[in-house]
């Protein structure tokens, strides 16, 4: 390096030094300017995003506000109507059904969460436990507190026994007098101790089946209690002639699959068997493609005509 600079005069070397300093300063200045510009641009973009968010929130609030007196009156009437439709009555959160919860003003989300809580074994031991349910607001809870009446487990069991004894002593309707394959909710109301929700669930399940073959099938109804099963078995009976059957020679896969006892796989087997073998003249032919257990369970709901 020393030898390289020795070929230049003193004045030329000084010029080279100055040139190097100028180049280094230029590069450093360029880096500083770029860094400052980028930082400034990022800050401006951030400020713009904040401004856009404020504008968005402002317009959302403006849209949500009623624009005139008529709209204000409409919203007021709508809220008043909702409050009028809300009922207040004494209830136990451990036994109340969906329809009654809706009448009390529970939202769909709160109803769903409450039912899931009970299905998983949860129990309300005091009114404050209701606040644990997601969707139950403080306002709703405050309005319901005077109407919450939680019975202890021991008391509930004892009361059930008393009710069962009283029903056996003084029945309101004769035993085995209600035909369950043709009954409607009006007739079911005459059975004491049945919840409205269970009545609807039972009729819905019955229609999906096509009817009950045995009265013990009511135990398959969702959310039905042992007490309600006993009541239905005490006052009800089934007429198998009223059962609606599925014609295996004309039914589609979807129609077969819609039956609670027929899986999608079995529906396909029946459909393919009919397509390849032709018309099924005897239901016993289905034993070739179904297990003996499946055949025994679904054959009462099938016909060849």
Instruction: Give 14-54 pLDDT, tens digit per residue.
Output: 887 788 888 888 887 778 767 666 666 556 655 555 555 55
In this predicted structure, the answer to whether residue 63 has a pLDDT above a threshold of 60 is no
Task: Give me the CATH topology for the region 84-147.
Answer: DNA polymerase; domain 1 (1.10.150)
**Residue 225 pLDDT grade (very low, low, confident, very high; cuts 50, 70, 90):** very high
**Residue 143 pLDDT grade (very low, low, confident, very high; cuts 50, 70, 90):** confident
Nearest Cα residue to 147 out of 107, 85, 87: 87
Nearest-angstrom CA–CA distance, 192 and 155 = 19
Which class in CATH covers the domain with range 170-241?
A: mainly alpha
Q: Write down the number of H helices and E strands in the chain.
A: 13, 4
Q: What is the pLDDT of residue 8?
A: 64
More confident residue, 137 or 8: 137
Q: What's the first-to-final CA gap in the chain, in angstroms?
A: 110
Least confident of 72-76, 176-180, 217-221, 222-226: 72-76
What are the phi and psi torsion angles at 124 (to 5°)?
-90, 115
**Residue 88 pLDDT grade (very low, low, confident, very high; cuts 50, 70, 90):** confident
**Residue 161 pLDDT grade (very low, low, confident, very high; cuts 50, 70, 90):** very low
What mean pLDDT comes out for the span 160-172? 47
Least confident of 58-72, 111-125, 172-186: 58-72
Q: In terms of C-beta density within 10 A (0-12 exposed, 13-18 middle, 19 or more buried), how is residue 230 classed?
A: middle
Token output for 296: 């025994």
Least confident of 76-80, 251-255, 280-284, 293-297: 76-80
In this predicted structure, the answer to whether residue 89 has a pLDDT above a threshold of 80 is yes
Relative orientation angle of helices 226-235 and 153-169, to the nearest 10 degrees? 0
Nearest Cα residue to 301 out of 201, 181, 154: 181
Helix (H, G, I), strand (E, B) or coil at 91: strand
CB 85 within 8 A of CB 106: no
Give the bridge partners for 91, in sequence order: 148
Nearest-angstrom CA–CA distance, 79 and 33 = 61
In this predicted structure, the answer to whether residue 179 has a pLDDT above a threshold of 70 is yes
């Amino acid at each position: 390096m020393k030898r390289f600079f020795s070929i230049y005069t003193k004045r030329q070397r000084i010029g080279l030094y100055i040139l190097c300093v100028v180049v280094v300063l230029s590069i450093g200045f360029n880096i500083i300017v770029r860094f400052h510009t980028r930082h400034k641009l990022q800050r401006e973009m951030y400020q713009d995003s904040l401004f856009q968010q404020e504008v968005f929130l402002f317009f959302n609030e403006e849209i949500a506000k009623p624009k005139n007196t008529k709209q204000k009156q409409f919203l007021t009437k709508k809220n008043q109507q909702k409050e009028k439709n809300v009922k207040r009555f004494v209830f136990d959160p451990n036994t109340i059904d969906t329809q009654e919860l809706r009448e009390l003003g529970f939202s769909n989300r709160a109803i769903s969460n409450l039912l899931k809580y009970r299905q998983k074994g949860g129990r309300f031991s005091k009114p404050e436990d209701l606040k644990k349910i997601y969707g139950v607001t403080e306002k709703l809870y405050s309005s319901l507190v005077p109407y919450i009446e939680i019975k202890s487990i021991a008391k509930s069991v004892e009361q059930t026994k008393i009710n069962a004894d009283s029903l056996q002593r003084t029945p309101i309707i004769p035993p085995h007098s209600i035909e369950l394959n043709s009954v409607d909710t009006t007739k079911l109301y005459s059975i004491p101790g049945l919840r409205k929700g269970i009545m609807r669930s039972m009729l819905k399940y019955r229609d999906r089946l096509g009817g009950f073959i045995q009265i013990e099938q009511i135990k398959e109804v969702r959310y039905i209690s042992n007490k309600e099963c006993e009541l239905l078995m005490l006052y009800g009976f089934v007429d198998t002639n009223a059962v609606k059957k599925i014609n295996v020679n004309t039914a589609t896969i979807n129609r077969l699959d819609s039956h609670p006892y027929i899986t999608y796989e079995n529906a396909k087997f029946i459909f393919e068997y009919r397509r390849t073998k032709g018309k099924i003249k005897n239901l016993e032919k289905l034993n070739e493609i179904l297990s003996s257990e499946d055949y025994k369970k679904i054959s009462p709901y099938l016909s060849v005509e």
